[in-house]
Chains A and B, each alone.
Chain A
Amino acid sequence: MKPDVPKALEIVAGRLLFDVAPHVAPSYRQSSVGVTAMLLGIVREEWDRAAARRVQENAALRALFRDALPVVTDTDLRGKLAAAADSADASLLVSELDASNDALRALLIELHAHVETLQSAAARALEDAIWRELVASTERRKLSLAPF
């Protein structure tokens, strides 16, 4: 799409904020226009990285599940992890990547809760790896204007 989507969103958000909002009344609606401009700014930031960060995260989770197999003692869970590790994203559509990501992160919760109950050094190492992935997941989603 040309003009580039981030550029178009930047211009639309700026016009809403500086050209439209000052002329809107009452103050509640004026404020809502400003909030809408902020939403467009967030979409602008997300647009370019949306597919990439989902592909990266889904791959990281599948690798983590593969590494977890020798540590996990629950047979059912090990089966689910093995299947998930061998799965693949159906396409690069964001909606399909999201569906995969939801399934993988739900399984990550199950794995994390299970590993917390195990006592071995390998379990602790796996738990550390899970935390590293959770930290990485927030870095992938971080917004430049977030308060923290």
Chain B
Amino acid sequence: MHELAPRIAAYATGRLPQAAELEVADVERIHGGASRETYRLKLRYRDGATRVERRLILRRDPPGSLIETDRAIEFAAYRAFHSTPVPVPEALWLENDPSHLDYPFFVMEELAGFEASPQTILMPPYSGHHEKLAQQKWSILGAIASADPEKLGLVGPMAPVAPTEAWRRELDHWTRVIDEDQLEPQPIMRAAIRWLRRNPPPAPARLHVVHGDYPTGNFLYDKEGNVRGILDWEMAHLGDPLEDLAWSLNRVWCWARDGRVGGLTSKENAIRIWESASGLRADPEALRWWELFSSLKGQAIWISSGREYQAGKNQDPVLALSGWWLMNAQDRAALETLGKLG
């Protein structure tokens, strides 16, 4: 039995006072994003005469993480988009008291039986559905962009910002991450930061929900080419929807290594799908600003992962791999956006 099982059961008993014969089984740690420890488990209990079994996901803050984020925001995003055209698992419990499982955590339903891997999607039978997956992937991103954060109750859990200042808040934040975490000088990123400050993008007409981390790899898909769940909302915030579009187009997510964005389709097609679904226009110059910004943000994350690993705070080898595998590719992506790669 996993050492967390009895502790999760004790916690769930408090959350479900009507439940009898409650037990937690099959607790297994899985890869589920880089910012939290993710566990799959089964919760069984009797509710009156009814036997209940629920497959759940528990996301727990780790001692060190790739991205320092607010679990309450991630939880609020799952809650807000549940039962909307944006498919997400049902969020159940948010717990900030570390006494239960040593660190804060939240629990949500598991959307079981689907794939998330950005490598598996390149292989049969999924490879036969890339255009269908692309259509759904960027349509859903368009649906997130067209959502009203006020109506979803996300203004508050997510800090508002003046639309004219959305770019600056993000740029300041990720520049600060690089300032604090860099292990070596970053001449390309420093040049990018100067360019971004000299050439600010036009402001969006209003604030939008920004998922914050929407590559292939952060959604669930099935063998028929359907997107079944949007995951990893830990960096969600209010801002410019072009930020999400640009992040989804980031060169480092070209998993098939053939130029197709997200390993699925052409950049032009992805933009066309997003524009059609969102009702918004991706102004090329504004999108270029956000594409360069997405290289900065990516580099900040890879830099932080390297620092966490080197400091020994988190020895998950994926943190070392992020730094080694992606930092140079991210620099090249920035050079390409700036028109310097040739």
Which A positions have Cβ atoms within 8 angstroms of B? 26-29, 31-32, 35-36, 38-39, 42, 98, 101-102, 105-106, 108-109, 112-113, 116, 131, 134-135, 137-138, 141-143, 145-148
Pairwise interchain contact B252-A131, C-beta atoms closer than 8 A? no
Which residues from chain B contact A143 at a C-beta distance below 8 Å?
Answer: 324-325, 328-329
Q: How many angstroms from the CA of A38 to the CA of B251 in the assembled complex?
A: 20
B20 at the interface (CB under 8 A from A): no
Pairwise interchain contact B185-A109, C-beta atoms closer than 8 A? yes
Q: How many angstroms from the CA of A108 to the CA of B185 in the assembled complex?
A: 9
B320 at the interface (CB under 8 A from A): yes
Q: Report which of B187, B191, B317, B340 forms a contact with A39, defined as CB distance below 8 A.
A: B317
Q: How many angstroms from the CA of A42 to the CA of B322 in the assembled complex?
A: 12
B176 at the interface (CB under 8 A from A): no
Q: How many angstroms from the CA of A123 to the CA of B80 in the assembled complex?
A: 53
A38-B190 contact in complex given A32-B317, A131-B340, A147-B251, C-beta closer than 8 Å: no
**In residues 190-226 of chain B, which contact A (Cβ within 8 Å)?**
190-191, 194
Quote the shortest CB–CB distance from A106 to chain B (angstroms).
4
Quote the shortest CB–CB distance from A120 to chain B (angstroms).
19
Pairwise interchain contact B321-A116, C-beta atoms closer than 8 A? no
Q: Is the interface of B mostly helix, strand, loop or mixed?
A: helix
Pairwise interchain contact B31-A147, C-beta atoms closer than 8 A? no
10 smallest A-B Cβ distances: which pairs? A105-B185, A28-B29, A148-B251, A141-B328, A35-B317, A106-B185, A148-B329, A146-B329, A26-B28, A109-B190
Residue among B29, B187, B253, B326 facing the most chain A CB atoms (10 A cut-off): B187
Residue among B190, B254, B324 facing the most chain A CB atoms (10 A cut-off): B324
Q: How many angstroms from the CA of A109 to the CA of B186 in the assembled complex?
A: 8
A32-B28 contact in complex given A113-B190, A138-B331, A147-B253, C-beta closer than 8 Å: no
Which residues from chain B contact A31 at a C-beta distance below 8 Å?
Answer: 31
B143 at the interface (CB under 8 A from A): no
Pairwise interchain contact A112-B335, C-beta atoms closer than 8 A? no
Binary flags per residue of B119-152, CB closer than 8 Å to A gives 1, else 0: 0000000000000000000000000000000000
**In residues 159-202 of chain B, which contact A (Cβ within 8 Å)?**
184-188, 190-191, 194
B255 at the interface (CB under 8 A from A): yes
B282 at the interface (CB under 8 A from A): no
Q: How many angstroms from the CA of A101 to the CA of B31 in the assembled complex?
A: 36
Pairwise interchain contact A134-B187, C-beta atoms closer than 8 A? yes
Pairwise interchain contact B321-A35, C-beta atoms closer than 8 A? yes
A135-B324 contact in complex given A28-B30, A147-B251, C-beta closer than 8 Å: no
Which residues from chain A contact B341 at a C-beta distance below 8 Å?
Answer: 135
Which residues from chain B contact A28 at a C-beta distance below 8 Å?
Answer: 28-31
Which residues from chain B contact A38 at a C-beta distance below 8 Å?
Answer: 321, 325
Q: How many angstroms from the CA of A1 to the CA of B285 in the assembled complex?
A: 53
Quote the shortest CB–CB distance from B322 to chain A (angstroms).
10
Q: Which residue of A lies closest to B324 (CB)?
A: A42
Quote the shortest CB–CB distance from B62 to chain A (angstroms).
12
Which residues from chain A contact B267 at a C-beta distance below 8 Å?
Answer: none
